[in-house]
Amino acid sequence: MKLIPKSVAEMVAVGLLPYPVKSIEEHKGGLINHTFKIVTKNDSDPNFLLQKVNSYIFKDVDLLQSNIRIVTDYIRNELDKQSLPNLNRRVLSPGCILSNGECKSYYWDHDCDYWRLYEYIEDSKTYNSIPNNDMAFKGGVTLASFHKTLLGFPKDKLPDIIPNFHNLKKRIESLMVKIKDDKFGRVTNAKKEIEFINDNIDEYVKLHEILTSTNIPKRVIHQDPKFNNILFDLNDNPLCMVDLDTVMVGHLYSDIGDAIRTGANSTVEDNPDLNQTNFIFEIYQSYINGYLSIAKDFITLNELHSIYISPLIMTYEQSIRFLSDYINGDKYYKYKTEYPDHNLVRAKNQIRLFEQMVLNREKLKDTVIKFDPSFF
């Protein structure tokens, strides 16, 4: 087991956590925040997840925490209106950090790191990849239900925590600046990948413009709905979406596309053996069927027609993000960069996945079109 950081031990020692602590262990998962599971001494007290917020990425932790608070409150209230039981298992509950006896949403330590708590949801699990079509269908249902629950959320109350998060044009501009600066002398190692990005810019920027044009509604969405951001109970029933840091106003295509990008990859996104990276069409199909079984109640026709292209756009975007970070010296994904070429490997993996998706483009479209009532 890895050593527990000194600041975590200190927080426990000075009584910042709301209950007496029995043990602390590192909790794997996620590329951004560093997470620990805190087991409390008394069975009647809830266990917690303690997270060190990545403040290179989340510059405004007050806003981050206040967005999460209003979103989780809103979801809880909506689910309560439907008289659903066990609300604490159906939505995350941010916890209190005690400061002079007062409940605070985070703690700022001597190293200028920010710490926050969530109540741990017992008897739950996540999957790093989608195990079968049935689970893919459930994933789609869960994401659509999340969107549905947030339909009435007042969009003007949710400022962007990371502006332009899925703005493809801005991502490309930023990559070009990094290539020009080449601060780490890595551009020469990434010639082929840069060429791939350049070859696809015109087509994908145009598609992105269509997907974000004024005839496509803006909605409150998750913006990071990887399959392992869905919590399931021990019988594989979906409980809730987690990792709510990036919940912001955006377009449905980006959530659906990112879920497929992560869920329909036959291997992990940092597998250096590209022959193992394949696009599993059946997972896409089941996820979309699950998603649209719920979303048919609110999705517009323009959105429906746009979503088949979303896995391609999001995989292209993620290739750019990994490549950018590689060229820029691994600053964004620093916490989970384990060797010098790690982000280049990730970019190559995404490019290969993209190419496999392109081969399925017509089938992607057919799956979605079946849900257009005018098709019959």
Q: Which residues bind ligand GN1 (CB under 6 A)?
A: 30-32, 57, 224, 226, 229, 243, 245-246, 269, 318
Tokens found for residue 70 = 């209003």
The b/e string for 299-310 (b: 16+ C-beta within 10 A; e otherwise) is: beeebbbbbbbb
Q: Helix, strand or coil for residue 189?
A: helix
Whichever of 79 and 161 has its CB closer to ligand GN1, that residue is 161
d(CA 343, CA 327): 9
Distance of CA 263 to the CA centre of its chain: 12
d(CA 180, CA 116): 38
d(CA 363, CA 356): 12
Do residues 204 and 313 make contact, with C-beta atoms less than 8 angstroms apart? yes
Q: Among residues 298, 318, 341, which one has the least CA distance to residue 152?
A: 298
Whichever of 32 and 207 has its CB closer to ligand GN1, that residue is 32
Please state the closest distance from residue 242 (CB atom) to Mg ion, in A: 9
Whichever of 65 and 285 has its CB closer to Mg ion, that residue is 65
Where does this chain bind Mg ion (CB under 5 A)? 224, 243
303 makes contact, choosing from Mg ion, ligand GN1, none, with CB < 5 to 8 Å by partner type, with none
DSSP string across 119-162: E--SSEE--SS--SHHHHHHHHHHHHHHHHHTTTS-GGG---SS
Whichever of 254 and 289 has its CB closer to ligand GN1, that residue is 254
Whichever of 18 and 94 has its CB closer to Mg ion, that residue is 94
Provide the terminal-to-terminal Cα distance of the chain, rounded to the nearest Å.
Answer: 58
Q: Among residues 263, 334, 315, 338, which one has the least CA distance to residue 56?
A: 334
Please state the closest distance from residue 246 (CB atom) to Mg ion, in A: 7
- What does residue 292 show for φ and ψ, rounded to 5 degrees? -75, -20
129 makes contact, choosing from ligand GN1, Mg ion, none, with CB < 5 to 8 Å by partner type, with none
DSSP state of 205: H
Q: Helix, strand or coil for residue 193?
A: helix
Whichever of 354 and 371 has its CB closer to ligand GN1, that residue is 354
Do residues 138 and 290 make contact, with C-beta atoms less than 8 angstroms apart? yes
Whichever of 239 and 244 has its CB closer to ligand GN1, that residue is 244
226 makes contact, choosing from Mg ion, ligand GN1, none, with CB < 5 to 8 Å by partner type, with ligand GN1
Please state the closest distance from residue 330 (CB atom) to Mg ion, in A: 17
Work out whether the CA dihedral 135, 136, 138, 139 comes out positive or negative: positive
Please state the closest distance from residue 318 (CB atom) to ligand GN1, in A: 6
269 makes contact, choosing from Mg ion, ligand GN1, none, with CB < 5 to 8 Å by partner type, with ligand GN1
Whichever of 32 and 197 has its CB closer to ligand GN1, that residue is 32
DSSP state of 246: G
